[in-house]
Amino acid sequence: MNLIFFVFFCYFAYYAPLATAIGWIWKVQAGFGAFVLGWNIVEAFTTPACRFWYGLITALQFTMFGVTLGINGDLFWGESNPIYGDAFMYFSDYPALAMVTSRSLGVSMVLAFALGYYFYGFSNGYLKLCTVWNIAVGVMAVEPAYFGGSSAGPAMWMIQVALQITLATIGLYLELSGANGPWSFAFALPKWGLNAETFNFVNFIFYLPFCVAFAVDPNAVFGPNGIGPIPFFTEDMGETALWFGRTWAAMIFLLTISPYAFAFPAIKVVKTFVVAYFTYTGLFIWWILTVPVFNLTMAIPLGSLNFIFFIFALVVALPGNSGEPML
């Protein structure tokens, strides 16, 4: 019953509001209904069942978003899909930089939730990652849902916020009930060498300034009028590019700290970044050749550095060094 009411209120509160409805009351009711649905689920199912379905649904949802964004976010989530038009529009405007940041986010989500599901299954750390991510996405979705500019499609974002409330409720229950075990933070300098611990530490240091810059103001750091002596991009990011860029920064940050915050095995994290750097190297080559918004003085060295990190990760992950198969 709560599921039916949730769908009903989401549709008439966000997607197709009634002309005579008092909008804010319907929206509040839909949001509260999302919380009640999550509460209902944890009461109706056993804890093992909640762990299973929570991890699986989170993995399926964000793998789906990852694949579609990696292929073409404008096609699937823009305003001109050849099959369903703008029925599922999150953003209407996908300029070149928005395609760059949305594809980057798509790749990172596939790594976290498809490859991550394969590597970690329903481990405590993986479910903790799911909960942190569900909360983070819900918070970040509030901006385009309620405070977005001309590109944002608020209806889909409001529905996304409501869905994230349901998932976050389940995830927080699993955390607060102790079903996912205690948190364990273990961060230490590695024993330097050609090993997984060294790679993960260097990888974290490499990504950290990018994550901070995207979280604060990427245009001020990478844009043509930014604070740096050499800009990375020849134009500023608009609304769409900024949202995807900041969300990519959140996802990649969680991946880089996963051996420290979520107790992911160090070598599994290295294998994840073998795929990541291989894919990003290919994307950099494509972007440099086809996308005119990159300053080649900066893009070529960064693309080359991604290739170097790919080789570093691959060597560490090879069975002869890691002591286990690649997959």
Q: What is the pLDDT of residue 324?
A: 84
Of 176, 210, 227, which residue sits at a domain end? 176
Separation between Cα atoms, residue 98 and residue 104, nearest integer Å: 10
Q: Check whether residue 133 and residue 20 sit in a common domain.
A: yes
182 inside domain: no
One domain for residues 116 and 218: no
Q: What are phi and psi of 105, to 5 degrees?
A: -65, -45
Given a cut of 80, whether residue 1 has pLDDT beyond it is no
Judge whether 288 lies within some domain: yes
pLDDT in the model for residue 176? 95
C-alpha angle 10/12/14, rounded to 5°? 55
Task: Answer whether residue 8 shows pLDDT above 80.
Answer: no
181 within domain boundaries: no
Q: Among candidates 139, 174, 175, which has minimal Cα distance to 160?
A: 139
Report the pLDDT value the prediction gives residue 84, as an integer from 0 to 100. Answer: 87
DSSP code of residue 12:
I
Confidence tier at 133 by pLDDT (50, 70, 90): very high
Query: Which residues are within 8 A (CB) of 314 and not within 5 positions of it... i.e. 6 or more apart?
Result: 274
User: Does residue 3 or residue 56 have the better pLDDT?
Assistant: 56
Q: How many CB atoms lie within 10 A of CB 7?
A: 14
Band of pLDDT at residue 224, cut at 50, 70 and 90: very high
Neighbour-count burial of 46, counting CB atoms closer than 10 A to its CB (0-12 exposed, 13-18 middle, 19+ buried): exposed
The mean pLDDT of 275-281, rounded to a whole number, is 97
pLDDT digits (tens, 9 = 90+) for 73-113: 999 999 988 888 888 999 999 999 999 999 999 999 999 99
User: How many separate domains does the chain show?
Assistant: 2
204, pLDDT greater than 70: yes
- Whether residue 25 is found in the same domain as residue 93: yes
Tell me the torsion sign for CA atoms 45, 47, 51, 54.
positive
Angstrom distance (rounded) from CA 168 to CA 157: 16
If asked whether residues 64 and 212 sit together in one domain, one would say no
DSSP letter at 195?
A: S
Which of residues 144, 176, 208 is at a domain's end? 176
Assess if residue 213 is contained within a domain.
yes
Q: Is residue 185 part of a domain?
A: no
Report the alpha-carbon distance of residue 160 to residue 278 in Å, rounded: 31
> 55-75: per-residue pLDDT in tens?
999 999 999 999 999 999 999
Q: How far apart are the C-alpha atoms of 262 and 182, rounded to whole Å?
A: 10
Same domain, 244 and 139: no
Q: Specify whether the CB–CB gap between 262 and 129 falls below 8 A.
A: yes
Q: Look at residues 118, 144, 176 and tell me which one is the last residue of a structural domain.
A: 176
User: Which residues are within 8 A (CB) of 41 and not within 5 positions of it... i.e. 6 or more apart?
Assistant: 50, 166, 170
- What digits encode the pLDDT tens for the residues 225-237? 888 788 999 999 9
Residue 135 pLDDT > 70: yes
Distance CA 49, CA 65 (A): 24
Q: Strand, helix or coil at 92?
A: coil
Whether residue 261 is found in the same domain as residue 300:
yes
- In the prediction, which pLDDT does 140 show? 97
**Of 31, 306, 286, which is closest to residue 168 (Cα–Cα)?**
31
Percent of the residues in the chain that have a pLDDT greater than 70, as a whole number? 99
User: Residue 294, SS3?
Assistant: strand
Tell me the torsion sign for CA atoms 311, 312, 314, 319.
positive
Tell me, what's the pLDDT at 113?
A: 97
Query: CB of 290 within 8 A of CB of 93?
Result: no
Given a cut of 70, whether residue 211 has pLDDT beyond it is: yes
- Distance (Å, whole) CA 124 – CA 182: 9
CA–CA distances in Å: residue 161 to residues 22, 43, 142: 20, 22, 7
Share of the chain above pLDDT 90, in %: 78
**141/213 same-domain check:** no
Task: List the domain range (segments joined by +) for residue 22.
Answer: 2-176
Question: Residue 9: what pLDDT?
Answer: 67
Residues forming beta bridges with residue 233, ordered by sequence position: 294
Q: Which two tokens mark 268?
A: 């599994």
Query: Is residue 261 domain-resident?
Result: yes
Average confidence score pLDDT of the chain = 93
CA distance 163 to 151: 21
* Domain annotation covers residue 165: yes
pLDDT at 164 over 90: yes
Whether residues 222 and 257 fall in one domain: yes
Query: Quick one: pLDDT at residue 23?
Result: 74
Check whether residue 150 and residue 202 sit in a common domain.
no
What is the per-residue pLDDT across 280-297, written as a single tens digit (0 to 9) for each?
999 999 999 999 999 999
Confidence (pTM):
0.93
Q: What is the pLDDT of residue 104?
A: 97
